[in-house]
């Protein structure tokens, strides 16, 4: 069709540069806002705010401040991990989230970190080197003594931590693996992780003759959950469906295709008489606050301690997990881990309980979506009425966003904001809207005074892709419902 000009560049106020001032004095003498108003201001549900306040010992104003600090840190990290390249040593937030530290292996890169508003720390190993050490341990996981419950990268300490219970020959395991022992620390541990299988996480579902697990997050056609809950082909009830894919151990993920009559929604049960709306699946930073939903213990919150952790269950080792200090108990398996409104992962297993505290591991949700080509449902969870381009979704992209538009409406992504590319390279975008509609995608660049279109996918289709080779600068995507409305999925990768 002959499209008219869909966007006229208009002057906008934009402060060039990323401001990540993460060291703020605490506000004194402020009375906390009512819970509902405070939650609205923070962009989260009152139930999430209440759980964060309880478990992180924060008043509503403190929750808002923490989430704002975490958002700024996430934006800075997105830029720095690309611009620092092989010198990037990982990044983490302080316990109160007010200081964002970035490790660098070269002192010459410290000014670049400071310019982004973060605190540089000179480290011996890059994150890529630490990940390589961990990958080497993963490769020989089958030879690990049973008294070694797992290992993970501790970015703040710039080491790979191997956990060992009494009597474990951890040093022998490390030596036999052939890794650089100077990059490894052995910590005594009482963890005895087990998969949380006979339990309810978000909403309960039953497998086979009656074992129970929990729904993680809704996707088009079904939901994702823990892989140890069922094998491919296993049937479920309440909701009824079939495991369309499952992987455990090695991974701990699965997805269930539900039968007609079951309607997936982009919501999580908060066990406080309501639900939490999911708006995307952007990874939260190490040190960021997260909350878990489970029917055994309800809502509980804590922080991310590590990503790409490995944990050894009796069935075998699972790698690539999110390690947290959020408590959980048997009955919470497969349930939802969420940061604000961003889906993070599904409950795998852990140690401890919600009386004395514990460690819980989560399978990252984006890995599940990518493995099976699934689309995360957001908001009220109304699925697109047709599959995304190519029938496999906008997968294989570095970032993803979801939303919903009425006919003629527009949305700006990521998150009604923009991103920065510090180097020249290729930008790729993919948009999938409902069938029978005409959704268009525009890539815009800040030219110093206004946003200008630099690439577009504007056919008469509901599915669009674009590619643009550009220089460093500030970019954003405009999603436009030219004709018709409904839910959309956006995937994008930038230099």
Catalytically annotated residues = 228, 252, 333
Spatial contact of 263 and 316, defined as CB atoms under 8 Å apart = no
CA angle 176, 182, 187 (to 5 degrees): 75
Beta bridge partners of 412: 478
What's the distance, CA 36 to chain centroid? 25
Q: How many CA atoms lie within 13 A of 78 on its CB side?
A: 22
Spatial contact of 296 and 330, defined as CB atoms under 8 Å apart = yes
Spatial contact of 92 and 286, defined as CB atoms under 8 Å apart = yes
Spatial contact of 476 and 415, defined as CB atoms under 8 Å apart = no
CA distance 305 to 359: 9
Torsion of CA 280, 285, 289, 290, to 10 degrees: 40
Output the six-digit token pair for 33: 């806002």
3-state secondary structure of 277: strand
**Which segments within 422-462 are labelled E, that is strand?**
425-432, 438-446, 451-457
């Amino acid at each position: 069709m002959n499209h008219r000009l869909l966007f006229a560049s208009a002057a906008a106020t934009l402060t060039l540069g990323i401001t990540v001032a993460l060291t703020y004095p605490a506000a004194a003498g402020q009375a906390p806002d009512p819970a509902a108003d405070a939650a609205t201001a923070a962009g989260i549900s009152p139930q999430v705010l209440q759980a964060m306040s309880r478990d992180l010992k924060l008043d509503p104003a403190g929750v808002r401040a923490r989430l704002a600090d975490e958002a700024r840190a996430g934006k800075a990290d997105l830029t720095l991990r690309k611009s620092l390249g092989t010198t990037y040593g990982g990044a983490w937030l302080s316990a109160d989230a007010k200081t964002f530290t970035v490790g660098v292996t070269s002192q010459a890169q410290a000014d670049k970190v400071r310019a982004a508003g973060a605190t540089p720390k000179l480290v011996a190993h890059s994150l890529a080197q630490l990940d390589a050490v961990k990958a080497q341990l993963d490769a020989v996981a089958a030879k690990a003594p049973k008294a070694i419950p797992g290992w993970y990268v501790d970015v703040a300490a710039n080491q790979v931590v191997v956990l060992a219970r009494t009597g474990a020959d951890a040093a022998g395991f490390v030596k036999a693996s052939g890794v650089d022992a100077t990059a490894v620390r052995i910590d005594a541990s009482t963890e005895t992780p087990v998969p949380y299988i006979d339990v309810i996480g978000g909403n309960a579902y039953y497998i086979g003759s009656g074992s129970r697990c929990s729904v993680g997050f809704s996707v088009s056609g079904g939901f994702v959950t823990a892989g140890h809950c069922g094998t491919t082909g296993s049937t479920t009830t309440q909701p009824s469906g079939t495991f369309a894919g499952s992987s455990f151990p090695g991974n701990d993920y699965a997805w269930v295709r539900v039968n007609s009559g079951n309607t997936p929604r982009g919501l999580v049960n908060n066990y406080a008489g309501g639900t939490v709306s999911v708006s995307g699946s952007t990874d939260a930073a190490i040190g960021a606050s997260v909350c878990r939903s489970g029917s055994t213990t309800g809502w509980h919150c804590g922080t991310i301690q590590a990503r790409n952790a490995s944990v050894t269950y009796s069935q075998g080792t699972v790698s690539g997990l999110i390690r947290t200090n959020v408590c959980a108990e048997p009955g919470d398996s497969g349930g939802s881990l969420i940061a604000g409104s961003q889906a993070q992962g599904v409950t795998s297993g852990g140690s401890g309980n919600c009386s004395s505290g514990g460690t819980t591991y989560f399978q990252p949700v984006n890995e599940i979506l990518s493995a099976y080509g699934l689309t995360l449902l957001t908001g009220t969870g109304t699925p697109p009425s047709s599959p995304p381009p190519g029938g496999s979704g906008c997968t294989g992209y570095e970032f993803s966003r979801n939303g919903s538009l009425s006919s003629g409406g527009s949305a700006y992504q990521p998150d009604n904001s923009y991103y920065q590319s510090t180097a020249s390279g290729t930008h790729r975008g993919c948009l999938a809207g409902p069938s029978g509609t005409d959704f268009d995608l525009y890539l815009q660049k800040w030219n110093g005074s206004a946003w200008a279109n630099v690439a577009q996918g504007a056919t008469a289709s509901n599915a669009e892709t674009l590619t643009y080779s550009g220089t460093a600068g500030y970019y954003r995507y405009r999603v436009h419902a030219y004709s018709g409305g409904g839910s959309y999925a956006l995937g994008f990768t930038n230099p």
